[in-house]
Chain A
Amino acid sequence: IAGITQAPTSQILAAGRRMTLRCTQDMRHNAMYWYRQDLGLGLRLIHYSNTAGTTGKGEVPDGYSVSRANTDDFPLTLASAVPSQTSVYFCASSTGTGNTGELFFGEGSRLTVL
């Protein structure tokens, strides 16, 4: 079934540890995104990539890094996790062309930093 796969679905992490959230899509979409979703707030963009080989910073990029070595994969890394990074993280993709902008989301990764 075509779509976006995220891993892990849930993780508890000690503060200071490094963590990579994986995201893979098989729809050959150009654009990919990482969002975090916190209670009472809208989805906030962390980083994005308009096409393989390029990345950009979103609204809340500090403490996170991404890479886009190929079309399918867009991992998100927390170099040294802090409790404020406790959140649900969603990876998304879109065709990246035109204004329709429909996003396809993964099922989310729930991260708890203690």
Chain B
Amino acid sequence: GQNIDQPTEMTATEGAIVQINCTYQTSGFNGLFWYQQHAGEAPTFLSYNVLDGLEEKGRFSSFLSRSKGYSYLLLKELQMKDSASYLCAVMDSNYQLIWGAGTKLIIKP
């Protein structure tokens, strides 16, 4: 079966750096996505990786290793507004998105 694994919850300190990991086993691979979802709100797109390596976008970076079935989202200079759930999703061979359950990130002052 298809599976996306990510930690349920993480805690970090304002101003620090946090890395949220995602491992996947899917039928084929056509890209990996990270979305941010604040409590009670809709998910919003953060990043897309289809080739191995690091994609940097401001304070957020996303890394992909296709051979290891692994990705991480790196958040730098954490701000209180970064408190949210972070959803990892993989597009399979049928171009359908398979979603992880999300990682709830709690930022403490």
Residues of A at the B interface (CB closer than 8 Å) are 40-45, 58, 90, 99-108
Known: A99-B30, A101-B91. A42 touches B98 (CB 8 A): yes
| Contact sample, A vs B, 20 pairs, CB 8 Å cutoff | A40-B101, A42-B4, A42-B89, A42-B98, A42-B100, A99-B30, A99-B31, A99-B91, A101-B31, A101-B33, A101-B48, A101-B91, A101-B97, A102-B33, A103-B35, A103-B45, A103-B97, A104-B45, A105-B44, A108-B41
How many residues of B sit at the interface, in one of the four size bands? Answer: 20 to 34
Q: Are A42 and B48 in contact (CB under 8 A)?
A: no
Q: Are A43 and B99 in contact (CB under 8 A)?
A: yes
Residues of B at the A interface (CB closer than 8 Å) are 4, 8, 30-31, 33, 35, 41-45, 48, 50, 87, 89, 91, 95-102
Query: Measured between C-beta atoms, what is the minimum distance from A29 to chain B in Å?
Result: 14
> What secondary structure prevails in chain A residues at the interface with B?
loop
CA distance A43 to B101 in the complex (A): 7
Q: Are B50 and A99 in contact (CB under 8 A)?
A: yes
For A99, list chain B residues within 8 Å (CB): 30-31, 50, 91, 95
Q: Are A107 and B41 in contact (CB under 8 A)?
A: yes
CA distance A100 to B98 in the complex (A): 14
Q: Are B43 and A90 in contact (CB under 8 A)?
A: yes
For A106, list chain B residues within 8 Å (CB): 42
